[in-house]
Amino acid sequence: MQTNQPITVAALYRFAVVADPAALRDALDTVCRAQKIKGTLLVAREGINGTIAGTSGGIAQVVDFIRAQPDCAEVDVKYSGAAEMPFYRMKVRVKREIVTMGEPDIDPRANVGTYVAPQDWNALIADPETIVIDTRNDYEVEVGTFERAIDPRTRTFRDFPEWFRGERERLLGDGKAPKVAMFCTGGIRCEKSTAFLKAEGVEEVYHLKGGILNPHSPSKSLISLS
């Protein structure tokens, strides 16, 4: 968690059952304001997601509070530093989903793809039998993507289910039972999109653990599209 910058930034998420999102929202707002934390946190019945910034001690207090919540001990947190506070205020909001896909029955806690460690990722996607799908939005893909990755050209994550259902026959037709490898920026969309594919009947689904922001990710293998 130590950075060389005066401000610590924490991007975090966790899929977990939240019995009372409004109560958790209020509690998070209280602890964040007490520690002078700024940023945005989203709370839903499916979990928590957001990015916050503050002193290293203040961020530690908030992360410890989140880890103390039911089924949140393993919340995924990625730390970085900033010279100045990147946010103007603190917002904690209750939403229907912590990452909006528009498929209310999808539950990454119940059925999700197989996590692939960063050091094993390149070998997986180099296999010609593996279908590689970039689940990021179009403007993110423009920065670069992995070789052979399919770009769904989605503007928002909500567009992904429609894209997959429209392309399913081309990708998985003729009795194919391929391996599907998916990746995103920080890991949260990978979890939900692989859960979606599993619910659609795709059995062998993998995703890059922690996304391309994982400090150990093979992001140097991204190819520029510009």
Contacts of 39 (CB under 8 A, 6+ apart): 9, 32, 50, 51, 52, 53, 86, 87, 90, 91
**Of 23, 20, 149, 46, nearest to 100 (Cα)?**
46
> Could you give the CA distance from residue 187 to residue 42 in angstroms, rounded to a whole number?
16
Could you tell me if 91 and 40 are in contact, meaning their C-beta atoms sit under 8 angstroms apart? yes
- Write down the H helix ranges in 37-159: 56-67, 118-126, 138-141
Selected catalytic residue, list 32, 72, 184, 190: 184
* DSSP 8-state class, residue 43: E
Catalytic-residue membership of 184? yes
What residues are labeled active site? Answer: 184
